[in-house]
Amino acid sequence: MHKSLMRDHVIELVYDNYRRIKHTIIPMGFSAVALAGFGYDTIVWILVVLTCTSSAAYSILKWRNKTFDLTSERIIVSEGVFSKRQNDIPIANVSGIRIQDSILKRLVGVKELQIEIIGGNQESFVLSAEQIHWIQLNIFSSIPAQETSPPSGSSFQFAHYLLLSLRKSIFLPALISSFTLFELAFQYFYRDGGDRRGVADILNKYSSSWWPESLPAIIDAAGIIVGVTIFLSVPASLAIAYLKYSKFSVKQKTNHLQVVSGLFSRKIVNIPYSHIRSVRICSSWLELRLGFVRVCADTVGFGKNSEGATVELFPLIRAARLTDILNMYLPAFQFPEIRHRAKAGSLVYYLANRATIISAACSMFLTIIFPWSALAWIIVVYFVFAGFMRHRYAGLTFEGKYMVLSQWRALMKETVIFHMQSVQSLMYSQTYWQRRGECATYTFSVYSEQLTECYSCKHMDGRLKKDWLKAGDKNVTSDSNCETF
């Protein structure tokens, strides 16, 4: 059977422009409006018009140039604007198909057909319901489709949404947008001698006198600015958290997990159990204090990205329920106790790291020149805090059938559970100072879509070397000067 040459439904052009506006045009627009207040009105608005016009033209050409031909033997996809790409996919290489929709797509009578290919690639087509029905009957009749239904509501309460809204992936965009709006409003309403003045102008005004007389005024002004910005950010981040997690659900299927998220823009991910390489258990500092964790799955050979995709399975659960959750949804993974920790005497190496020393030197230099730059010492405090947390949570477990790494990364505690068979190589390294302190760095690499994906735990007990190198039944590397990642 053969289906004539097709294109995505025109509604996909609307979605593509929506995504482009959301991720590119709006951030550029905020920056353009802010710059316009500094006297670059004409140049900025010309650039904005050119950007919007070229973006719309690119979307139209991208939509028009994507064509696909479906037969009973193969799928031929052709796409590209500046360079053409043609993908010839035998039907035998199709591992599964999924059918998704959203509120807008249901209103116009179209659905999205996603074709999963052996090896992790994926092709998607937006077609009418009649076209998809014809394709299912005549081309993919032997492959069962996973048609998603609207997800049931999650059990999150207001306190949970508040905690979710403080995550950096949600709060930082809201904080940046709120500060931009505050800066624009400040420039619009505040006048000094008929001229517009921004936040930086106010800080310079207060710091006109020399250090340390200007410090109290600088702290007061900065406190007001930070307070107003955070006050504006909280409602925005709460709204984002609600839109993202209010319809979040996880369902167990025969051979995969189905994760559904999003209120208006619905996202459905089907994760085969066989493609889950590792499990990540993450908690921010506040979530640790309140006893909550987040559970994610690292997948290999699944998704569009070149690296193993990380999929959020449980955004927020009680730490006391973690074992039950793993037993119920991921019985192949257990949560063993961390048996080896960084040596207590290595704390100084974590605190006096390169980032701390460089930021302290820069802050000292800037404070001498610009007194209000004393606020930069907050960055030094952050690096010291991060070093302390990295030392506190650095740990390894490599006995049995699991390799477990504990670390503090990106403002959160992270525990990653690997199966031993996914570990590709083990490495052991020592610097001069580590040898003096009988410490070592233990590094291991795992199978991944990337060429190398390595993890390391520094300043561990050097006497674990023999046990470490015997932990896997694979070829290992031991080099006293090897580079750790």
Percent of residues in the chain assigned helix, strand, coil, to nearest 5? 45, 30, 25
Q: How many alpha carbons fall within 13 Å on the CB side of residue 465?
A: 14
**Is residue 189 domain-shared with residue 84, that is, in the same domain?**
no
Does residue 30 share a domain with residue 134?
A: yes
Same-domain check for residues 223 and 113:
no
Whole-model pTM? Answer: 0.68
Domain with 27 in it: 2-147
Q: CATH no. for residue 69?
A: 2.30.29.30
Domain assignment present for 411: no
16 and 125 belong to one structural domain: yes
Same domain? For 47 and 169 the reply is no
* Residue 322, H or E segment: helix 322-329
Q: Check whether residue 139 and residue 164 sit in a common domain.
A: no
Instruction: Print pLDDT tens along the chain (485 aa).
Output: 555 678 888 888 887 777 777 667 666 666 666 555 555 567 767 777 787 788 888 888 888 888 888 777 888 888 888 888 888 888 777 766 777 776 677 777 888 887 777 655 778 888 887 887 787 777 666 555 454 444 444 578 888 999 999 888 888 888 888 877 777 777 666 665 555 555 556 655 555 555 556 666 666 767 777 888 888 888 989 998 998 888 888 888 777 888 888 777 677 777 888 888 899 999 998 999 999 999 999 887 555 443 447 888 999 999 988 988 888 888 888 888 899 999 888 898 899 888 899 999 998 888 887 776 777 888 899 999 999 999 999 999 987 788 999 999 878 999 999 988 888 888 889 888 888 888 999 998 887 755 557 888 888 888 888 888 777 654 444 343 333 33
Whether residue 136 is found in the same domain as residue 186:
no
Residue 44 lies in a domain: yes
Alpha-carbon distance 95 to 97, whole Å?
7
> Looking at the structure, do residues 175 and 143 belong to the same domain, yes or no?
no
- Look-up of token digits 């591992």: 95
Answer whether residue 120 is part of any domain. Answer: yes
Residue 133 and residue 180 share a domain? no
Strands (E), 47-200: 67-71, 74-79, 85-90, 94-100, 110-117, 122-128, 145-147, 191-192, 195-196
Of the residues 182, 213, 245, the one at which a domain ends: 245
Residue 11 forms part of a structural domain: yes
Q: Which tens digits make up the pLDDT trace of 375-433?
A: 788 889 999 999 999 999 999 998 778 899 999 987 899 999 998 888 888 888 988 88
- Can you give the pLDDT at residue 38? 52
In a domain, 456, yes or no: no
Flag whether 185 is in a domain: yes
Q: What's the length of the chain? A: 485
Query: Closest by alpha carbon to 237, among 145, 313, 168?
Result: 168
36 close to 56: Cβ distance less than 8 angstroms: no
How many domains does the chain divide into? 3
29 and 119 housed in the same domain: yes
Which of 228, 245, 262 represents a domain boundary (last residue)?
A: 245
Q: Which of 96, 123, 147 is the last residue of a domain?
A: 147
54 and 14, same domain (yes or no): yes
Domain presence at residue 401? no
Assess contact for 89 and 123: CB atoms under 8 A.
Answer: yes
Q: Is 225 exposed, middle or buried (0-12, 13-18, 19+ CB in 10 A)?
A: middle
Asked whether residue 60 falls in the same domain as residue 130, the answer is: yes
Let me know if residue 405 belongs to a domain: no
